[in-house]
Amino acid sequence: MKFLEHSHFEALNSAFNFDAGVYQISGRLESYSCKLVVSEKRLFKLWNGTDGHSPNDLETLSPPNGSFNNRMEFLSNLEQFQCNKISRKTLFYLISTLNASFNPDYDFSHCRGEEFSREPCIKDVMDSVDSTFFNTSAREEYNEIKSQLWSAIDNHINLSDCEIYRFHPNPSFDLNNEKSIWAYYYFFYSKKLKRVVFFTFCANRKDDKETDDGLAIDDSGCISFDIELM
C-alpha cells in the first residue's frame, strides 16, 4: 500500500487534537493506494496459499453492531446477511492499510474477517462519529471541523461510491496503550479508484495525576464516575 499525501488531510490531522477534560482526543486521516509493494505481494501470495484459499474467496464479517445479541442473530441468519461477506483480496487491503498505518509497532497479518464489519451506509457512520464527539466536552471543537472532515473524505474518495468497513480489534490487542478509553477505526474503500481512506480517532487518559477541573485520578488512571457523558 502506498501512502498518498493529501494537504487537506494533513491540515485536519493537525487540528484533530482536542482537550476533553480528563482525557485527550486525537485522530488522523490517511489515504493509501491499493497498489501493493513487493513485500505485500509476497505476503498476499503466502496468505492466500493457506488452506487453498483464492483472492475471490469470501470471509464472513461481524455484524455492524458488535453486541452479543446482534452477533447471535447474525450467525443464525447468515442467508439474510450475505452482504456481510468480504473477498479475501479486499480484506487484505484493509489489513495492509493497518500494517502501513501502524508500522512498525504492530502486525495485523493474522487478522480475519470476523474482526471487521461492513457499515450499512455513510449516514450511519457519520451519525455514530458525530454522536461520539457530541457526548464529550470536545463537541464544540469537533463541530468546527466536522463539515471539513466529511467534505475532505468525500472529495477524495466519493463516499457515495465506496464500501465502508470498521475494525474491531481483539481486546487483548492493545493498539493504543493502557491509557486508552475508546478508539474507532474506519476504512473507506473505493474499488473504482483503487484507494483506501483510513480514519481513526481515540481518547486517551492524560498523564497528569489531576485534571484541569481538579478531579483526582489514581495511579491506574481510573475515575469513580462518568464525567464526559452529558
pTM for the full predicted model: 0.80
Nearest of 195, 176, 24, 12 to residue 102 by alpha carbon: 176
- Structural domain containing residue 179: 2-64+78-205
Q: How far apart are CA 100 and CA 104, in angstroms?
A: 8
Residue 30 to residues 4, 50, 83, 95, Cα–Cα distance (Å): 8, 30, 26, 14
Nearest of 131, 187, 185, 132 to residue 159 by alpha carbon: 187
Q: What pLDDT, on a 0 to 100 scale, did the predictor assign at position 180?
A: 81
Q: What pLDDT, on a 0 to 100 scale, did the predictor assign at position 38?
A: 83
Q: What pLDDT, on a 0 to 100 scale, did the predictor assign at position 71?
A: 47
Q: What pLDDT, on a 0 to 100 scale, did the predictor assign at position 223?
A: 40
Q: What pLDDT, on a 0 to 100 scale, did the predictor assign at position 109?
A: 85
Instruction: Please count the structural domains in the chain.
Output: 1
Q: How far apart are CA 107 and CA 88, in angstroms?
A: 17
Residue 29 β-bridge partners: 199
Q: What pLDDT, on a 0 to 100 scale, did the predictor assign at position 20?
A: 86
Q: Is residue 217 part of a domain?
A: no
Residue 54 to residues 45, 71, 86, Cα–Cα distance (Å): 9, 27, 13
10 Å CB burial of residue 181 (0-12, 13-18, 19+) is middle
pLDDT in tens, 19-70: 888 889 999 999 999 988 888 888 877 776 666 666 667 888 888 764 444 4
Q: Is residue 221 part of a domain?
A: no
Q: Is residue 216 part of a domain?
A: no
Q: Is residue 223 part of a domain?
A: no
Q: What pLDDT, on a 0 to 100 scale, did the predictor assign at position 26?
A: 92
Q: What pLDDT, on a 0 to 100 scale, did the predictor assign at position 165?
A: 96
Q: Is residue 120 part of a domain?
A: yes
Cα Dmax for the chain: 59
Q: Is residue 34 part of a domain?
A: yes
- Grid cell 477534560 is found at 21
User: Which residues have CB under 8 Å from 215's CB, separation 6+?
Assistant: 21, 22, 223, 227
Q: What pLDDT, on a 0 to 100 scale, did the predictor assign at position 52?
A: 61
Report residues of the chain scoring pLDDT below 50.
Answer: 66-72, 74-75, 79-81, 210-230
Q: Is residue 11 part of a domain?
A: yes
Q: What pLDDT, on a 0 to 100 scale, did the predictor assign at position 37?
A: 81
Specify the CATH number for the domain of residue 169: 3.40.1000.50
Handedness of CA 51, 166, 119, 96 (dihedral sign): negative
Q: Is residue 224 part of a domain?
A: no
